[in-house]
Structure 1
Amino acid sequence: MKLSQSAALAFAASALAAPSLTTQEKPRAAAAACASAVTLDGSSNVFKKYKLHPNSFFRKEVEDAVAQMSDSSLAASAKKVADVGTFLWLDTIENISRLEPALQDVPCENILGVVIYDLPGRDCAAKASNGELKVGELAKYKSEYIDKIVPIIKAHSNTAFVLLIEPDSLPNLVTNSDLQTCQNSASGYRDGVAYALKQLNLPNVVMYLDAGHGGWLGWDANLKPGAEELAKAYKAAGSPKQFRGIATNVAGWNQWDLSPGEFSKTSDAKYNSCQNEKTYITTFGAALKTAGMPNHAIIDTGRNGVSGLRKEWGNWCNVKGAGFGIRPTSETGTELADAFVWVKPGGESDGTSDTSAVRYDSFCGKPDAYNPSPEAGQWNQAYFEDLIKNAKPKF
């Protein structure tokens, strides 16, 4: 599928970490938490003060992966991946249980990244990461998901949190409104996101709302409606003061400042001026400002170390030849970009390549998608090893 300016071709761009089995992990020795309650300033870049925490869940996945490696040099590089700050995904009600263990080793100078990801009818334009809650189960989303996370964060007022709110949700409503599944999910997405933003507006939290990427809402025809869709949710939540802006390229492959862009020579490139994420956050950021919403951004660089791998911009699933990208840092060179972060845990699959699986999505069978791959959220050892080998910069 070649992208065009039409909303119908603007696709749900990434199958994100779907529910995976919760495993028991032993937290590392308790770090020195802050001596008093943390108060974050939503109007400033918290990443200038705090380091993204290497959460214990991903650390355990990496340590288990290292144990399977016979190549000592590769294993040495893999061990370093465990020390990279990465977001923790709370992608089911059950997986809220990951949060308490992950809080046991967060030092005062670190901030714990958490992905809020369990809307009713989740991922309405793809099959690989459909969620546990059905359309119409908004009350359950509020009472059994958001309302269970809030008291945990309140109980850990001496820890700083950065929350990424509901990847893929509102962008799908902008570009896939022709799909019945997205039409059915629309009210639940809008109300759910607004509820999450309002309830999670806590002093020790800063929040970013997912905004797709330059190959999604970056099309000229999508900029204004995209900004207005996100701004409506922000305003419906009461314009929470702990809200900072947007997250882009989540689980994505786009380059930060590649020029000309990876798909700048395609026949429809004239309809998209956002050929890299740097241009996107600037262009979309201006539209957000006009729409009345904070517009600073964090950008997922977890797997975008290598460019030129995809046949088409819309190919999102387990791209072959990918490598880990820039490590988390607040040194972005652009005022609107608060930080480069690792949101998608590198090594966890985007979706299965098994064509007989219920959750099989055709994008995971594309020629540029890694095969074999397990269900979304499950570990793919061979793919993880390739991410290390192809990392840029190297480990």
Structure 2
Amino acid sequence: MKLTQSTALAFAATALALPSSTTKEVARKVNAACSSAVTLDASTNVFKKYTLHANSFYRAEVEAAVKQISDSSLAASAAKVADVGTFLWIDTIANIAKIEPAVSDVPCDHILGLVIYDLPGRDCAAKASNGELKVGEISRYKTEYIDPIVKILKNHSNTAFALVIEPDSLPNLVTNADKTACSDSASGYRDGVAYAIKNLNLPNVVMYLDAGHGGWLGWDDNLKPGAQELANAYKNGGNPKQLRGFATNTAGWNSWDQSPGEFASASDAKYNKCQNEKIYVDTFAPLLKSDGMPNHAIVDTGRNGVTGLRKEWGDWCNVNGAGFGVRPTADTGDDLVDAFVWIKPGGESDGTSDSSADRYDSFCGKDDAFKPSPEAGTWNQAYFEMLLKNAKPPF
């Protein structure tokens, strides 16, 4: 279906993959942590001072992938991907155990990126990446998920952390309220996000609330409701001073500043001026500010190196022909954008293309989706090699 400004998107418009549960962590001991407690000034761009850390879990996945590449030139390029900073997805209660080893090799001038991602009824508009907690299990989310993470981050006060809070959650409440799964999840999403940002409001932490992307909340009818939804979460969380703003294009495919935009010639483009993520940020941020919320952004450029691949803006699953995008940097050219970052670990699947699988989502079977693809979060060697070959800039 073609998206319109009034369409309630019946899917999660970003591909949110679960990290592999089988990856073995390989510790790299290098000047770990700082000698004293870290205090991040969330009124400033901390990425000007800290480098997004190349976490050891993604490094291990990439190093294993390199061994499977027979072309020596391609293998040499692939090895460089291991040095790129990416966010570590803490997508289950069990995966909280990944934080401690991931912290072990973070130098004092690095910041460890974590995705907080386990709300009850998670991804209410998609099947590929729905979660372990059922609708209504908000007490488990608080006591078994958020509280243990808070304890670990407090125990590692000498390490800096950047958090992306619950991708897809609040955007789904803006556009998919008519879906039963989303309406049933709404109170838990709002309660959970507020609890998360209130309790993760630690001196060594900077937080960004997920705000979908320009093809989702960028429609004329979605911009103000989207800003209000995020701002309400911020206020309900006690106006946490360590919340810096919002994250866009998480696990997404949108260009940063392509002009005209990828879908600018579509018949309904007149209802969405946010034809790239730069326009979206510059349009959405002032609305957040007017609603009383901090409004600086980080943008996921992990897989947006190639555009023009999707048949529709909402096609989110393992887009065929994609390539790695701009590597993490605080040099964005936009005062509202703190950094380009890799939130999605490129090479981990968005969802399975096996139509017989329980978690099969029809978007993973579309013509513009890469096939075959394994379950969400599972490593896809062929897809990783494609991202590498199509990388812009190249490795």
Q: Deviations over 1:163-195 (max 9, x none)?
A: 000000000000000100000000000000000
Determine the C-alpha separation between the residues in 2 that align with 1:176 and 1:18: 22
Q: Would the aligned equivalents of 1:18 and 1:130 in 2 still touch at CA under 8 Å? A: no
TM-score, normalized by length of structure 1?
Answer: 0.99
Determine the C-alpha separation between the residues in 1 that align with 2:7 and 2:134: 25
Give, in angstroms, the shift of residue 6 of structure 1.
1.4
Is 1:75 the equivalent of 2:79? Answer: no
Q: Deviations over 1:10-52 (max 9, x none)?
A: 7420230126324332301242421110000010000000000
Counterpart in the other structure of 2:337:
337
Determine the C-alpha separation between the residues in 1 that align with 2:7 and 2:321: 29
Determine the C-alpha separation between the residues in 2 that align with 1:266 and 1:297: 27
Is 1:112 the equivalent of 2:136? Answer: no
Q: Would the aligned equivalents of 1:251 and 1:302 in 2 still touch at CA under 8 Å? A: yes
Counterpart in the other structure of 2:152:
152
Counterpart in the other structure of 2:143:
143
Q: SS state of the match for residue 201, structure 1?
A: coil
Determine the C-alpha separation between the residues in 1 that align with 2:15 and 2:109: 32
Counterpart in the other structure of 1:212:
212
Determine the C-alpha separation between the residues in 2 that align with 1:289 and 1:14: 25
Counterpart in the other structure of 2:262:
262
Determine the C-alpha separation between the residues in 1 that align with 2:10 and 2:118: 22
Counterpart in the other structure of 1:44:
44
Determine the C-alpha separation between the residues in 1 that align with 2:21 and 2:15: 17
Letter of the 1:71 partner, please give it: D
Q: Deviations over 1:218-273 (max 9, x none)?
A: 00000000000010100001000000000000000000000000000000000001
Q: Would the aligned equivalents of 1:22 and 1:98 in 2 still touch at CA under 8 Å? A: no
Counterpart in the other structure of 1:7:
7
Q: Would the aligned equivalents of 1:128 and 1:351 in 2 still touch at CA under 8 Å? A: yes
Q: Would the aligned equivalents of 2:168 and 2:211 in 1 still touch at CA under 8 Å? A: yes
Give, in angstroms, the shift of residue 311 of structure 1.
0.7
Counterpart in the other structure of 2:363:
363
Q: SS state of the match for residue 209, structure 1?
A: strand
Structure 1 residues not aligned, in runs of 5+: none
Q: Would the aligned equivalents of 1:111 and 1:162 in 2 still touch at CA under 8 Å? A: yes
Letter of the 2:97 partner, please give it: S
TM-score, normalized by length of structure 2?
Answer: 0.99
Q: Would the aligned equivalents of 1:18 and 1:128 in 2 still touch at CA under 8 Å? A: no
Q: SS state of the match for residue 8, structure 2?
A: helix
Pairs within 5 Å for 1:1-395: 1-9=1-9, 11-18=11-18, 20-395=20-395
Determine the C-alpha separation between the residues in 1 that align with 2:283 and 2:155: 39
Letter of the 1:326 partner, please give it: V
Give, in angstroms, the shift of residue 115 of structure 1.
0.3
Deviation larger for 362-371 or 1-10: 1-10
Q: Deviations over 1:264-303 (max 9, x none)?
A: 0000000001000000001011111111111100000000
Q: Would the aligned equivalents of 2:310 and 2:368 in 1 still touch at CA under 8 Å? A: yes
Q: SS state of the match for residue 173, structure 1?
A: helix
Determine the C-alpha separation between the residues in 2 that align with 1:225 and 1:14: 19
Q: Would the aligned equivalents of 1:197 and 1:240 in 2 still touch at CA under 8 Å? A: yes
Determine the C-alpha separation between the residues in 1 that align with 2:31 and 2:177: 47
Misfit runs of 4+, over 4 Å: none
Q: SS state of the match for residue 98, structure 1?
A: helix
Deviation larger for 31-40 or 182-191: 31-40
Q: SS state of the match for residue 7, structure 1?
A: coil
Determine the C-alpha separation between the residues in 2 that align with 1:80 and 1:3: 38
Determine the C-alpha separation between the residues in 2 that align with 1:84 and 1:208: 20
Q: Would the aligned equivalents of 2:135 and 2:185 in 1 still touch at CA under 8 Å? A: yes
Determine the C-alpha separation between the residues in 1 that align with 2:151 and 2:158: 13
RMSD of equivalent CA atoms: 0.9
Q: SS state of the match for residue 8, structure 1?
A: coil
Determine the C-alpha separation between the residues in 1 that align with 2:265 and 2:392: 24
Structure 2 residues not aligned, in runs of 5+: none
Q: Would the aligned equivalents of 1:31 and 1:104 in 2 still touch at CA under 8 Å? A: no
Instruction: Count residues with an aligned counterpart.
Output: 395
Quote the sequence identity (%).
Answer: 76
Letter of the 2:98 partner, please give it: R
